[in-house]
Amino acid sequence: MNPILAQLIGYVAVFLISIFFFNFLSNNFLFLFIRAKGSRGKLTLIEIEGIDNITYKLGKITGNELKFKGTNKKKKTILVGKEHVYRKLGVSAITLDEEFNAVRKTDYSVSEKFDAEAYDNLLVRGFTSPQITNNTDRIIILVLLAGILLISIYIAYNLTQLKPLILAIKQSGVVN
């Protein structure tokens, strides 16, 4: 093998091993950062601060909702505002706190009385559950339908009673 080619392969191997080692040490920050930077603002870097570690994820902001997959691989939706989003190395970033289960603001204060899991469960239930109407509305509709049915039965019964009378009038010659 050519010594220049062997040296080039060695340098590339050392470079790739050091990149993967840095990515391993930074809890997958490097590759997620590159994906967020390459998305040109469509993806947001999410920094999830736990009690003993920091995990990075990618999410997408649509309107004022942040949608991402959490550390337990379930899809989550959280309401965010301008006070939660900041720039980190040129990409939009949001910090979540697992201890308080809340979104951190840019001044590192935590939104009070916010439960991300309960909110996400409410959103899922609200978007997937059928429309529930009031029981009085159902009763009114049933009564109206029953009334229309009874009136149509009464009219049909009266028409069957009138048929012999109409035939008798026709036979008498009063009406042509």
Which phi and psi angles does 93 have, rounded to 5°? -140, 150
pLDDT for 57: 87
Nearest-angstrom CA–CA distance, 69 and 101: 15
Q: What average pLDDT score do residues 148-154 get? A: 91
- Report the predicted TM-score, pTM, of the whole model to 2 decimal places: 0.56
For residues 31 and 57, the answer to whether their CB atoms sit within 8 Å is no
**pLDDT tier at 132, thresholds 50, 70, 90:** low
Q: Which amino acid is at 51?
A: I
Q: What average pLDDT score do residues 85-107 get? A: 78
Q: What average pLDDT score do residues 143-169 get? A: 85
pLDDT for 3: 84
DSSP 38-71: HTTTSSEEEEEE-SS-EEEEEEEEETTEEEEE-T
DSSP 78-90: EE--TTT-EEETT
**pLDDT tier at 107, thresholds 50, 70, 90:** low
Q: Which amino acid is at 85?
A: V
pLDDT tens readout for residues 22-53:
888 888 888 888 888 888 888 888 888 888 88
Average pLDDT score over the chain: 80
Is the pLDDT at 65 greater than 70? The verdict is yes
Is the pLDDT at 113 greater than 60? The verdict is no
